Amino acid sequence: MTVKGEYIRRTLLDESNRWLKNQNTVLATKLCTRTGRLVNERSMSVSEQGEMSATMTYQHTIEERFLDMRVLRYGSKLVRRARKIHTRFAYGHYESIASRLMYGLTDDVVAEIKQQLTD
């Protein structure tokens, strides 16, 4: 594996763990769950696609997305009471991943990865 490929894999693993940790915090405060299915049936995986690419996959229940788009009807009025538990995290972490991949591979990081790959 190349140094760049290893950096991409590590970055995606780190961001996926951060995503789930941050989302767990928000889910605990915004939702009163009885079964815990919304939290327990989520998963993140990072798979390598070659020497210099990897894919991060997020699997969740469909209810998570619907809670994010929640709209209530009061007579003829539509009231949006979205719980920011899905889209907010997706776009926030996409931006973080992009900036880390563009600017995070410094000479120090390259040297550290090379040392760890040779050990």
Catalogue the E-assigned strands of 1-119. 43-48, 54-59, 71-74, 77-80
- Residue 69 pLDDT > 80, yes or no? no
**2 contacts 52 by C-beta, under 8 angstroms:** yes
More confidently predicted of 41 and 85: 41
Total domains, the chain: 1
Overall average pLDDT of the 96-100 stretch: 93
96-113 b/e (C-beta count within 10 Å ≥ 16 → b): ebeebeeeebeeeeeeeb
What global pTM score does this model have? 0.79
- pLDDT value at position 78? 73
Alpha-helical regions (H) of 31-106 = 37-40, 62-68, 87-103
- Residue 100 pLDDT > 80, yes or no? yes
pLDDT in tens, 104-113: 999 999 999 9
pLDDT in tens, 14-68: 999 999 998 888 888 777 777 788 888 889 999 988 877 889 999 988 887 777 7
**Amino acid identity of 83?**
R
Q: 66 is written with which tokens?
A: 């619907």
Containing structural domain, residue 35: 3-118
